[in-house]
Chains A and B, each alone.
Chain A
Amino acid sequence: MSDLFLKIVNMSISAGYIVLAVLVLRLLLKKAPKWITVVLWGIVAVRLVCPFTLESALSLIPSAEIVSPDIMLDRTPTIDSGIPIINQIVNPVISGSFTPDPATSANPLQLWIPTFAIIWLVGIVAFFCYAAISYARVKHKVATAVLLRDNIYQSESVVSPFVLGVIKPKIYLPFNMNTKDMEHVISHETAHIRRGDHLWKPLGFFLLSLHWFNPLMWLGYVLLCRDIELACDEKVIATLDREARADYSQALLTCSVNRRLISACPLAFGEVGVKKRVRSVLNYKKPAFWIVLIAILACVALAVCFLTNPPIKDENNDPDVSDAIHTEYDGVYISLKSIDTNHGGYKVFNVKLHNDTYKNIMYGEVYAIEYKDGDKWVSAAIEDLNFLTVAYRLDKKDVAYRSYTTQRFDISRVGTYRLLIPFSVENNGAYTDYKTWIEFKVGTDYIGESYEVSVVYANAAYSYVMSPDLVSASIDDGTKLYDRLGTLLGEFEHITLSETNFIDNVGKFRSEDREMAEQIVQSTTTAYSVNLSSPENIDLYYVLIQKDGSRLFVYGHYVDCQRNDEIRWIYKAD
């Protein structure tokens, strides 16, 4: 329930942005046909009902998920409005007020959000009751309405004409109308039915009832009702001559004078300021083609910019963290929630410590980051680490949120690392120590989908220019090379490995490297280089097919297409 509520809140906020955009467009499109503005509201409605959205770089919605469902469990609850200044102002307040009390370890939002969700639900129920009751009342009042013709009825209970009913809409008129006015009123109400307004308006009310906590939706609903009336007037008068338009305006005025009740019942058609309506009827001119065109383009632009969410930021420089669970004690494990990179050079892993067991466990401030050297784990610490000797308890079936910095560790080497947390479990009065960890890789990735690569050679001097595009480049059909984004880098061509194009470029500084390069030449059956498509691209890519069937992937930079070229990495793909 809370999740659904938060989902609605997020949808509501992003729909709020469109409402604001529609308000602006309504002003700009004053001269455009009025049905356009109704279409604009339709776009708002799509955003309000459709939980799935496409991602688009053109999206003007600042953030797809402002309030994360995790906010209830966070140690420091924050929102992501997508607007830095708002985050800066709002987040300290939210974190300050809702940070868990260490004594109870409960985030107050854990209590508040379900409460809000219930209030929200009660509101919806109230809306539905209100709609149902007022529908039943009106229906009862017009039960004795007398058939005039077709679907048109007259009743002394009706003061102002309206349409009622969703499936078989009926038009209700008062008795004492003169024939001239009546025909205009009927053509107005018939136009409503033809336009499908008897469906759109209840739909609008339904959406309002789901988003009733959002004032912008109230504004939107009221303006929708007005725009529908104006659009309907427009549809009727488009075919009328001057004289008939004057009569139509007169009918509008007469009806509004007779009017003695507020028919704001959601399913009936209410009146909009008669002066405004008469004025727009009298001033109606057939909109020029180009205005209609601009208006339609504006609708399309609105749909593209606001029906899509911004792409989720892809942090390419994040370590590649494996999902696998590693623990020495079943049921107690850590999982990665996010990685903060804005901490000047080092990263912060935000993790969740889970205790799915029925025992309480103890853990402390102690953690480690280790590097995998062959089949041994070696500490990656660059200095002696002193931790506070405090212990925290994690109750059974509970989670804890922890953050760990890489500040005092060296994770610049290419390879596999783990973030390790020790904990202890009580067994018959004695505590036994266990470990849990997550593994992550630095500088390695996958080629295509099926090749896992390992580093054969890395020129340490250049390790900082490691390119994520390289390691994810895919060998498509054996003749062309694409990067991660699917851009063609170039086509493979046969080459023969030699001193100038390979051995010298690898073994420039160290004799071991030169020996390794010579060995590679020996074991290579076929060698390809990529003939780059773009003249600006100075990247060097080789694929070397080995005698044992494996492939080596060579990456570097061209300098002079001779001895000075730099080969920086060689990966092995099995």
Chain B
Amino acid sequence: MKTPKIFESEYRFCLILWEHEPIKSSELVALCRNQLGWKPTTTYTVIKRLSERGVLKNENTVVTALITKEEAQAAEIDEMVEKTFEGSLPAFIAAFTKHQKISEEELDAVQAMIDRYRRGEN
């Protein structure tokens, strides 16, 4: 079976789960609040999301992992690319604030600037 997708923050959550499983969801909420800074609702949302994805199961408020740490590590952890902001601005505001994606030449020029500075040429 293909290992389900796990995002980085979910992986951090799973680390807590693997350490303590089987664990009551209310205890998991307390642990996540301390170690991850999560609100209870966030923890419950993540539990639900991961159980839908088959990463864990939540039976009678007891949470157990369905995949092992090794399986998860073997799978690539996805870096989610956030696209939500794009296009959320009216074009005319974007025209003000948008900076052209840095070009190769500009990147090189700025890098050269820093390198020269490091060498004390400035």
Q: Which residues of A contact B (CB under 8 A)?
A: 134, 137, 141, 143-147, 153-159, 175-176, 218, 222, 225, 242-243, 245-246, 249-250, 253, 256-257, 259-265, 270-275, 278-279, 282-283
Contacts and interface: CB of A to CB of B under 8 A. Distances in A.
B97 A156 contact: no
Contact of B37 (A146, A250, A278): A146
Given A143-B45, A158-B82, 15 more contacts: A134-B85, A137-B88, A144-B46, A146-B38, A155-B8, A222-B96, A257-B107, A261-B85, A262-B85, A262-B98, A264-B98, A265-B85, A274-B99, A275-B109, A282-B113
24 contacts: A143-B39, A144-B38, A146-B37, A146-B38, A147-B36, A147-B37, A156-B7, A158-B82, A175-B79, A242-B117, A242-B120, A246-B117, A246-B118, A253-B111, A257-B102, A257-B107, A262-B94, A264-B93, A264-B98, A270-B97, A272-B99, A274-B110, A275-B109, A282-B114
**6 closest cross-chain pairs (CB), A and B:** A147-B37, A264-B97, A144-B9, A156-B8, A156-B80, A261-B85
Contacts of A271: 99
B117 to A, nearest CB: 5
B114 A261 contact: no
A155 B7 CA distance: 9
B42 A143 contact: yes
B96 A144 contact: no
Contact of B42 (A144, A245, A253, A279): A144
Contacts of A159: 81-82
Nearest to A248: B114
B82 A146 contact: no
Nearest to B118: A246
B60 interface: no
Contacts of A153: 37
A330 B7 CA distance: 81
B90 to A, nearest CB: 8
Contacts of B7: 144, 156
B70 to A, nearest CB: 21
Contacts, number: 117
Contacts of A250: 114
Contacts of B42: 143-144
B20 interface: no
B82 A262 contact: no
A242 B82 CA distance: 35
B97 A273 contact: no
B86 A275 contact: no
B4 to A, nearest CB: 16
A243 B115 CA distance: 11
A282 B122 contact: yes
Contacts of B122: 282-283
B5 to A, nearest CB: 11
Given A153-B37, A156-B79, A275-B110, A261 B86 contact: yes
B88 A134 contact: yes
B86 A274 contact: no
Nearest to B38: A144
A213 B70 CA distance: 58
Interface string B2-15: 00000111101100
Nearest to A151: B37
Interface string B50-63: 00000000000000
Nearest to A222: B96
A56 to B, nearest CB: 34
Contacts of A274: 99, 102, 110
A145 B9 contact: yes
A497 to B, nearest CB: 78
B47 to A, nearest CB: 12
Contacts of B98: 262, 264
Given A153-B37, A264-B97, A275 B106 contact: yes
Nearest to A133: B88
A176 B78 CA distance: 11
Contact of B10 (A143, A144, A147, A257): A144
B79 A261 contact: no
Contacts of B80: 156-157
A249 B114 contact: yes
Contacts of B37: 145-147, 153
B117 A282 contact: yes
Nearest to B81: A260
B88 A146 contact: no
B84 A141 contact: yes
Contacts of A265: 85
B114 A175 contact: no
B36 A263 contact: no
A400 B81 CA distance: 66
